[in-house]
A and B are shown apart, each in its own frame.
Chain A
Amino acid sequence: ETGVTQTPRHLVMGMTNKKSLKCEQHLGHNAMYWYKQSAKKPLELMFVYNFKEQTENNSVPSRFSPECPNSSHLFLHLHTLQPEDSALYLCASSQAHRENYGYTFGSGTRLTVV
């Protein structure tokens, strides 16, 4: 365990479903991130939260909706996804965004859209 916990580990959902991915960290970090990793592609940064405020949204479609209720929890709400959204979704945290700290990643949620 890295200190960043993601649930569920695996998720299969239909294109009309609504689901949420959860990320939790108790490292005392103040920045949290969502990354997407499609098969044989580099990790893509999706969202950045710093002290619960969203500071980055890298042109992510609105069918992905992040939520950060506090510095320890981060959610990714999913609705009307497409099969090409199937990927490994990774959550990461760091002490603070835009500071010289490394990231701690969770183990990811493997999402399959059918």
Chain B
Amino acid sequence: DAKTTQPPSMDCAEGRAANLPCNHSTISGNEYVYWYRQIHSQGPQYIIHGLKNNETNEMASLIITEDRKSSTLILPHATLRDTAVYYCIATNTGNQFYFGTGTSLTVIP
């Protein structure tokens, strides 16, 4: 699996967009980018994943750069319930998920 690098923590004002960056400069062509989040003391929750095209679902948008070396998870209108640790994982279809330390997002009222 490609190594991913995320900032350890971020703050975001409630109602504003939260943009969470992830670097995966060693990603290979068949590796997908997955995003999960973990609210305190709960199991991780799947958010979104993509290969090279930008993706959007009801929870978030995923923007992947053209060279695929980095991506950004966008929560368009952050709420207090979005406070969590966000994990970016780059993995191919043959491997399981290894979670790093993620980004601790705090949404501020």
Q: In the complex the two chains form, is B96's CB within 8 Å of A2's CB? A: no
Task: Select the residue from B44, B46, B49, B93 with max chain A CB neighbours within 10 A.
Answer: B44
Count A interface residues, CB 8 Å. Answer: 24
Chain A residues near B44 (CB, 8 Å)?
A: 43, 90, 92, 103, 105
Q: In the complex the two chains form, is A108's CB within 8 Å of B100's CB? A: no
Per-position binary interface string of chain A over residues 1-27, scored 1 when its CB falls under 8 Å from any chain B CB and 0 otherwise: 010100000000000000000000000
Q: A108-B41, A110-B41 are in contact. Are A100 and B46 (CB under 8 A)?
A: no
Count B interface residues, CB 8 Å. Answer: 20
Per-position binary interface string of chain B over residues 48-60, scored 1 when its CB falls under 8 Å from any chain A CB and 0 otherwise: 0100000000000
Q: In the complex the two chains form, is A99's CB within 8 Å of B43's CB? A: no
A residues whose Cβ falls under 8 Å from a Cβ of B: 2, 4, 33, 42-43, 45, 48, 56, 88, 90-92, 97-100, 102-108, 110
B residues whose Cβ falls under 8 Å from a Cβ of A: 32, 34, 36, 41-46, 49, 93-102
A-B contact pairs, 18 of them (CB 8 A): A4-B43, A42-B100, A42-B101, A43-B44, A45-B96, A45-B98, A92-B43, A98-B95, A99-B93, A100-B93, A102-B34, A102-B46, A102-B49, A103-B36, A103-B44, A107-B42, A108-B42, A108-B43
